[in-house]
Amino acid sequence: MCLETKLFHRDTWAEVNLDHIYENISSMKTRLGTGVSLFAVVKANAYGHGDCEVAKTALDAGADFLCVAFLDEALALRKKGITAPILVLGVSRPESAALAAEQRISVTAFDESWLKSAKAHLEPGQVLHVHVKVDSGMGRIGIRDETELVNVESLLKREACFNFQGIFTHFATADELNTDYYEEQLAVFKRMLTALTGRPEYIHAANSAASLRFADPVWNAVRMGISMYGLTPSMGMKPILPFPLRQAISLKSKLVAVKQLVKGESVSYGATYTAKANEWIGTLPIGYADGWIRKLQGQEVLIDGIRVPIVGRICMDQCMIKLPTSFPVGTEVTLIGNDGAESITVDEIAAKLETINYEITCMIGARVPRLYIKGNQQKHVRNFILE
Ligand SMILES: Cc1ncc(COP(=O)(O)O)c(C=O)c1O
């Protein structure tokens, strides 16, 4: 691959394969069939993949709505020319209601007082699109009480400044093989819906896990996050995925220095690694400030199709790997992704760090440029720190 080297000046980058994202969405759309809308979740800079590139790909693949966590993320998409409907899933300030309405950004209402306060901040003639959040068992934000939901519905219908566009809930355990809690939450959501006198345009409950496993006539839209990026919602779900997911992200670097240590010489802070014989050590320009955190000491990377370990402590901007032999400076190294027959998945890194794959892609820092692949070709580079 020919790197667009003028757009970044350090040989560490993440490759984001937009074709894979497109394919994951297409597979989900086929599974959903007609009549169920797809909301693409692009919060947190599209789980670290890059917000507008993923948003555009998702819309090309047929997504109907975009979801973010915060109003600023929605505004950033608008600034980059995204005109599609966007829903802010988290809490927006009532004071921001006029801005959201002006930008045609849908917001989440999670109690009656928020709506009353938002109304006071809207300009005459403005209409705010609202999705009402029901807390069916997540214990986060949302209405739990049917009477309050009825009051919210009548307020939304009464006031011309509001468009009751959607109602939704979020599952806490849809990725777990035991479905008891999922079923309880679904029952609560259905009971809450029966309290309504009408139905808004969108009723959505399923995240990736629920939409990959279940279908329910109660919802007419799903919110697809992690699976859009080609990652399983949980390890337990891996064997029961209804279609193959294609991981979109890879993380690459290049050797910037290669040296031979003599037996007994040490590597990095704390001198925690000492050469047991004369050993070849390569330096990579990536460190914990890029999200490649110190707990990844010992993790393997790929060079020339083989696995080699990170040795010594990971520094803020660099880390060292043990090479079987001398390699030329400039040799490509894969931290996440494929090299020959070998592969390091996001899930492998998550397992090493005893966490979930979501956290790994979100962790890859803004200092790492993203290189986008589309139609099997490098399309463009996004360098967040030079933006
Ligand atoms: C409210 C809400 N909906 C949908 C999603 C997407 O979930 P997933 O990435 O598991 O598909 C999230 C993710 O955190 C969320 O918070």
Q: What per-residue confidence (pLDDT) applies to 301?
A: 99
Q: Which segment of 2-6, 220-224, 254-258 scores lowest on mean pLDDT? A: 2-6
Q: What's the average model confidence in pLDDT over 98-118?
A: 97
pLDDT tens digit string along 317-329? 999 999 999 999 9
Q: What per-residue confidence (pLDDT) applies to 3?
A: 54
Please give the mean pLDDT across all residues of the chain. Answer: 97
Q: What per-residue confidence (pLDDT) applies to 387?
A: 83
Query: Quick check: 83 pLDDT over 70?
Result: yes
Give, as one character, the DSSP assignment of residue 196.
Answer: -
> Which residue of the set 157, 263, 269, 295 is catalytic?
269
Can you tell me the distance from the alpha carbon of 149 to that of 164, in angstroms, rounded to the nearest whole number?
A: 12
Residue 163, classed as helix, strand or coil, is strand
Q: What per-residue confidence (pLDDT) applies to 2?
A: 52
Catalytic: 352? no
Q: What per-residue confidence (pLDDT) applies to 53?
A: 97
Catalytic: 133? no
Of 366, 365, 373, which Cα lies nearest the Cα of 387? Answer: 366
Atom of ligand 1 nearest to the CA of 47: 9
Query: Quick check: 336 pLDDT over 70?
Result: yes
Choose which residue among 207, 229, 237, 245 to substitute to test ligand 1 binding: the one with the highest number of ligand atoms within 8 A of its C-beta: 207
CATH 3.20.20.10, applies to 18-229: yes
pLDDT tens digit string along 281-305? 999 999 999 999 999 999 999 999 9
Q: What per-residue confidence (pLDDT) applies to 211?
A: 98
- Domain parsing of the chain, residue ranges: 18-229, 249-386
Tokens at 360, concatenated: 């790994």
Determine what percent of the chain falls in helix, strand and coil, rounding each to the nearest 5: 35, 25, 40
Match domain 249-386 to its CATH number in 3.40.228.10, 3.30.70.20, 2.40.37.10, 3.40.50.300: 2.40.37.10
> Which residue of the set 22, 29, 43, 372 is catalytic?
43
CB 324 within 8 A of CB 282: no
Q: What per-residue confidence (pLDDT) applies to 146?
A: 97
Pocket of ligand 1 (CB under 6 A): 41, 89, 170, 207-209, 223-227, 233
pLDDT tens digit string along 19-63? 999 999 999 999 999 999 999 999 999 999 999 999 999 999 999
Choose which residue among 89, 91, 219 to substitute to test ligand 1 binding: the one with the highest number of ligand atoms within 8 A of its C-beta: 89
Query: Quick check: 360 pLDDT over 70?
Result: yes
Query: Quick check: 8 pLDDT over 90?
Result: no
Q: What's the average model confidence in pLDDT over 328-341?
A: 98
Q: What per-residue confidence (pLDDT) applies to 7?
A: 79
**Which long-range CB contacts under 8 A does 207-212 form with residues at least 24 apart?**
207/41, 207/170, 207/171, 207/174, 207/233, 208/233, 209/171, 209/174, 209/175, 209/233, 209/234, 209/237, 210/171, 210/174, 210/182, 211/28, 211/31, 211/32, 212/28, 212/31, 212/237, 212/241, 212/242
Of 53, 109, 40, which Cα lies nearest the Cα of 80? Answer: 53
pLDDT tens digit string along 206-238? 999 999 999 999 999 999 999 999 999 999 999
Query: Quick check: 1 pLDDT over 80?
Result: no
Neighbours of 11 (CB within 10 A): 19
Report the separation in Å between the CA atom of 31 and the middle of ligand 1, taken as the mean of its atom positions. Answer: 18
pLDDT tens digit string along 258-283? 999 999 999 999 999 999 999 999 99
Residue 378 pLDDT grade (very low, low, confident, very high; cuts 50, 70, 90): confident
Tokens at 159, concatenated: 């006031």
